[in-house]
Amino acid sequence: MNQDPMTQAVFANERIRRNVSVGKKVEQGSDTTDIVDELVQQGQAEWDSPAKDRCLIYWRKPEDWGAQVYKWAFDSGSTGSICTVYELLHGKYTEGQEFHGLNEKTMVKALEALAKSGKAQLFVGSTDLEMGVKFS
């Protein structure tokens, strides 16, 4: 069962009976939108909907994940070959890597960062998991 993240301890503290308001300003402090907006400015989060009711919060930036994926590709001799996002996230050759099992959207963002830096070329699939990537 998914719990609403806005009710978790990071936004609500039962012990002191305080919480951050959702969607509106309060006299002291900021609401959750302001908090996430600040994380977005720092590159630590990204809004996942135009309504700003869902977001991805990164504990490691997509560029950093991309660097790890590229290091794996280089170290494993996978440069010049094509992998799918599914293989990177769930394949036996990436088991033990920190990015193995990563959130699919975060992996796509990491690969887009690699493509932007010229270290990878992306090939569109019918889904993100079927997207292909060729490491340079």
What is the distance between the alpha carbons of residues 68 and 39, in angstroms, rounded to a whole number?
22
Average pLDDT over residues 33-41: 88
- The three-state secondary structure class of 13 is strand
pTM to 2 decimals?
A: 0.77
What is the distance between the alpha carbons of residues 110 and 92, in angstroms, rounded to a whole number?
20
Q: Which helix (DSSP H) or strand (DSSP E) does residue 86 occupy?
A: helix 85-90
By C-alpha distance, which of 20, 48, 50, 49 is closest to 35? 20
Where in the chain are all domains bearing CATH 1.10.10.10? Answer: 62-135
**pLDDT at residue 115 is higher than 50:** yes
Domain 62-135 in CATH 2.40.40.20:
no
> Residue 71 — pLDDT band, cuts 50, 70, 90?
very high
> Residue 2 — pLDDT band, cuts 50, 70, 90?
low
Instruction: Give yes or no for a contact between 63 and 113, defined as CB atoms under 8 angstroms apart.
Output: yes
